[in-house]
Amino acid sequence: MNADEVSAQLLEYLGGKDNIRSNMACMTRLRVGVKDMSKVSVDKLKSVEGVLGVVEADTIQIVFGPGKSGKILEAFSKLTGIGKSMVSDSASYVAKVNKDALKAKHNKPLQRFFKRIADIFIPLLPGIIAAGLINGLTNVINVSSNGMLSGIWWYECIRTMGWAMFAYLSAFVGYNAAAQFGGSPILGGIAGAICIANSAMPLLSKFNDQEVILPMTGAVYNPSNGGLIAAMIAGMFFAWIEKKIRKVMPEVLDTFISPLLVLIIGGLSIVIVIQPVGAILTEGIYIAMDYIYGSLGAAGGFILSAGFLPLVAVGLHQALIPIHTLLNDPSGPTAGINYLLPILMMSGGGQVGAGIALYLKTKNKKLRRLIRDSIPVGILGVGEPLMYAVTLPLGRSFITACVGAGFGGVMASLFHIGTTTQGVSGLFGLLIVEPGQQIKYIIAMLCAYIGGFLLTWFFGVDEERINAVYGE
């Protein structure tokens, strides 16, 4: 089969170059978007050498079989002059399409706000993950070796890297918050730096043996009051006030006066208003977490793990990223141990169990292929292909997967599993759970697998729905 000759015939039968608006390929098909279907000769397309079939949908899909469509696209796109766009029938592609559609459907102000909040912390995750691992590992080394490496320069250098991330995390948060909300990042960084304790800070100095007393509260300044929440609000406020000031500031004075006013007005606002508000919000978060985790116990674990993926589906899970960061802060009430994350990680286990049940029970070949592609990465902790391409489109299977995951959440709660950092899930979660809890983590995850499998096997497989979604 000569790709150039075949492409020339295809172009003719598709109505010519002027009738083509897009061309792309998947593993088996050339997909062509046309402007006028009346100019397309489907019968003649079927007669072209190598064509196994033609499907009329939102695009003209010309079936060539594995390994051939890419070569045809290469030649076809040269004739049309339109850039080629490779797509895929794989689970990751289907998942992306479904995810984008769902995000568009739920693209409400609340979701967009939480996304902006998440975008403050997401760039910090590499540092948080690495520093958390350093802190966890060095703590284990210190205890198990009775401090044998203490005082050795390279070991203390590594420990310093773990310490530095969390010691100056407020400044990083303030910096990103200001940038995310349209302000000068460095001004936001200064706002966050006010929330870092340093004995050289003038507010912490003594004058005539007297400490600096704040108005209204009559208390001594506490830099950590409000923690990361205060730093985030401060960065957002600095961005807001900067934009307001620059709107009215004469251009000749803007470079000097605007940032000066931002720091003066913003600094006073942090101490008097923002930090107390941040403290209230932080305390509220810890009270809520303590109630769900401590008072509700196993029931709380079930609710959190079963309800997490519905939050993911509508984009509200992003509100939890700052909470995870708070819980992994060594200076926080949990001493850097995150007891929430392992419970939520069980949600992926329920999806894997549901996927296995569907694979074994359904006769739909396309669904089986999607599951086959999704299961391995799902086990490793990448659950999007399995959720968006398999369970969520089926509805009932998504529900049974979520409920099944709840059993893993119960075990994670009962075992009091904690993580020293964040950023991974699934099997890779073994890398971040507290040392000595790996076996408990595996048991909890297996419970999530089994729960998702059994509930989906008995209640979550609807072959009629499957065929309607994926075709017979």
Sorting pLDDT into bands at 50, 70 and 90, what band is 86? Answer: very low
Mean pLDDT for the stretch of residues 174-201: 93
Q: Where along the chain do the CATH 3.30.1360.60 domains lie?
A: 3-85
Structure tokens at 116: 């902006």
Which has the closest alpha carbon to 470: 388, 392, 390, 376?
A: 390
| pLDDT of res. 109 | 79
| pLDDT of res. 301 | 93
Mean pLDDT for the stretch of residues 373-397: 86
| pLDDT of res. 410 | 96
Where is average pLDDT lowest: 340-344, 349-353, 377-381, 403-407? Answer: 377-381
Q: Decide if pLDDT at 89 tops 60.
A: no
Name residue 437's amino acid.
Answer: Q
Residue 447 bears catalytic tag: no
Q: State percent of the chain over pLDDT 70.
A: 93
Q: 380 φ, ψ to 5°?
A: -80, -10
Neighbours of 412 (CB within 10 A): 33
Which has the closest alpha carbon to 431: 232, 69, 133?
A: 133
Where is average pLDDT lowest: 55-64, 81-90, 200-209, 437-446? Answer: 81-90
Q: Is 433 helix (H, G, I), strand (E, B) or coil?
A: strand
Which has the closest alpha carbon to 103: 251, 391, 315?
A: 315
Neighbours of 45 (CB within 10 A): 19
Higher per-residue confidence, 408 vs 129: 408
pLDDT (tens digit, 9 = 90+) per residue, 271-294? Answer: 999 999 998 988 888 888 888 887
Cα separation, 462 vs 84, whole angstroms: 38
Angle between helix 69-80 and helix 3-13 axes, rounded to 10 deg: 60
Neighbours of 376 (CB within 10 A): 12
Cα dihedral across residues 419, 423, 426, 427: positive or negative: negative
Mean pLDDT for the stretch of residues 207-226: 87
3-85: CATH number? 3.30.1360.60
| pLDDT of res. 191 | 96
Mean pLDDT for the stretch of residues 184-198: 94
Mean pLDDT for the stretch of residues 77-93: 67
For the purposes of burial, counting CB atoms within 10 Å of the CB of 105, is it exposed (0-12), middle (13-18) or buried (19 or more)? Answer: exposed
| pLDDT of res. 110 | 74
pLDDT (tens digit, 9 = 90+) per residue, 334-367? Answer: 888 899 999 999 999 999 999 999 999 999 988 8
Q: Is 32 helix (H, G, I), strand (E, B) or coil?
A: strand
